[in-house]
Structure 1
Amino acid sequence: MKEEKEAFFVARKGDIVGVYKSLTDCQAQVGSSICDPPVSVFKGHAMPKDAEKYLLSCGLKNALYSVKTDDLTEGLFGTLSPCGPSSFQLPSSSRGETSSELVSKKRPHEALWSGSGRSCTLEFDGASKGNPGQAGAGVVLRADDGSLICRLREGLGIATCNAAEYRAIILGLKYALDKGFTNVRVRGDSKLVCMQIQGLWKVKNQNISILYEEAKRLKDKFTSFQIIHVLRDSNSEADEQANLAVELADGQIQEEIDK
């Protein structure tokens, strides 16, 4: 009984890895995902303390976690075993193979950690001096190895903090698409934006709903999309760009490319 009580599920879909405390939550999230690449699901029986500490260091402390695959290490979650079709019904891939068939072709950790495609990390933040007040959006785009691709900032005129956060993620997603990125990992310290984009929180504000729909339209253009909430201390560079953007004219965009 104790082993089942401590059980958890690790699901990989595209470039997103989610950790769930119940099979029901795992099924719900995988089934409502934003795109349809092959899915691999694994069951663990006791999450190692080091894994709990690592997830907490990323600002992830609830039952649901989302982690970029580049941050994972072999054996982070201890021993994992593939979940078969009898315990977990998953959608077929575009090639007609079920997730369990895909898993059987690789060892569990190989299926979980491997990835492909042109990808980047997008860090976003918004600032408003008054809420509402003079506002700005800031974005930092990074390559897979963590090196800087560019910094972006946009003046927003008068806006709320939440609107500025949404304008920032929209700015970054547009830029990433224009540069040909197909896989994107998004990180921000706005829990509202992260939870709403994941479909976990409802959008109640009419003005925000317009921005939400624009962000959703953009994210659906990516082959693989992941968004995670991080602590403010882990988002300092995007925060700096957002505060610099407050001084810009409404609609003015500045771009700094790493040379």
Structure 2
Amino acid sequence: MSREALVGGARPCQADGRGRPLRVLPTDPRPVTTLIVWCDGAARGNPGPAGAGSQLTTPDGEVVAEISQGLGETTNNVAEYTAAILGLERARELGATEVLLRSDSQLLINQLVGVYKVKAGHLLPLYRRVQQLASDFGRIRFEHVPRERNAEADRLANEGVDAWLTSGGR
């Protein structure tokens, strides 16, 4: 059973194929070349009920898209990677050529910039997917930000957890 939560005049979107809630904002038909992807994952327990959230903004702060998705039972690191993937996929759909991905996850950012190796085997496919998406942009940067600067992505990630729990964990 799939469920979509819509914002404003947003059109319905497809679920992720497993019936997990997904939310997007309506898109502006004007192309945006530079985007900031704010992403965060949340897990209540590790592993536990999890969600991913991404907010895409222009460099001047205009919100272009928001994504909130329940992930089921998984780890915080899987949720962090999933949030990055969802945000980068949306940036690509919007035609971005330059992306700044910001996250409060030191592990995520340090793995993406090569400071840390990806040692956990279950994260490797997610890491590779981010790298694959990164190659779609003319320029991409990864930046660690303090948690308090990532509040909107955190809100979206927690909304994903709440939506999954409200749906009865389906």
Deviations 1:24-58 (A, max 9, x none): xxxxxxxxxxxxxxxxxxxxxxxxxxxxxxxxxxx
Residue number in structure 2 paired with 1:174:
89
Residue number in structure 2 paired with 1:232:
147
Residue number in structure 2 paired with 1:42:
none
The aligned amino acid for 1:232 is: R
Which portions of structure 1, spanning 4 or more consecutive aligned residues, are displaced by more than 3 angstroms? none
Q: Once superposed, what is the RMSD of the aligned Cα atoms?
A: 1.6
Deviations 1:34-87 (A, max 9, x none): xxxxxxxxxxxxxxxxxxxxxxxxxxxxxxxxxxxxxxxxxxxxxxxxxxxxxx
Instruction: Determine the C-alpha separation between the residues in 2 that align with 1:175 and 1:164.
Output: 17
Give 1:189's match in structure 2, choosing from 92, 104, 128: 104
Residue number in structure 2 paired with 1:212:
127
Instruction: Determine the C-alpha separation between the residues in 2 that align with 1:169 and 1:180.
Output: 17
Query: What is the TM-score of this pair, normalised by structure 2?
Result: 0.76
SS of the residue 1:240 aligns to: helix
Give 1:149's match in structure 2, choosing from 48, 64, 68: 64
- Alignment gaps of 5+ in structure 1: 1-116, 253-259
SS of the residue 2:96 aligns to: coil
Instruction: Determine the C-alpha separation between the residues in 1 that align with 2:163 and 2:130.
Output: 22
Residue number in structure 1 paired with 2:10:
none
Deviation of residue 174 (structure 1)?
0.4
Instruction: Determine the C-alpha separation between the residues in 2 that align with 1:173 and 1:167.
Output: 10
Instruction: Determine the C-alpha separation between the residues in 2 that align with 1:205 and 1:153.
Output: 25
Deviation of residue 249 (structure 1)?
3.7
Residue number in structure 1 paired with 2:14:
none
SS of the residue 2:163 aligns to: coil
Deviation of residue 248 (structure 1)?
2.7
Aligned pair 1:123/2:44, yes or no? no
Deviation of residue 148 (structure 1)?
1.1
The aligned amino acid for 2:40 is: D
SS of the residue 1:246 aligns to: helix
Residue number in structure 2 paired with 1:38:
none
Query: What is the TM-score of this pair, normalised by structure 1?
Result: 0.50
SS of the residue 2:68 aligns to: strand
Deviations 1:139-193 (A, max 9, x none): 0110121111121111101110011000000000001101111110111000000
- Alignment gaps of 5+ in structure 2: 1-31
Identity fraction in percent: 40
Instruction: Determine the C-alpha separation between the residues in 2 that align with 1:249 and 1:232.
Output: 23
Count of residues paired in the alignment: 135
Deviations 1:95-119 (A, max 9, x none): xxxxxxxxxxxxxxxxxxxxxx810
Instruction: Determine the C-alpha separation between the residues in 1 that align with 2:164 and 2:93.
Output: 23
Structure 1 residues 63-212: aligned runs within 5 Å: 118-212=33-127
Instruction: Determine the C-alpha separation between the residues in 1 that align with 2:110 and 2:89.
Output: 20
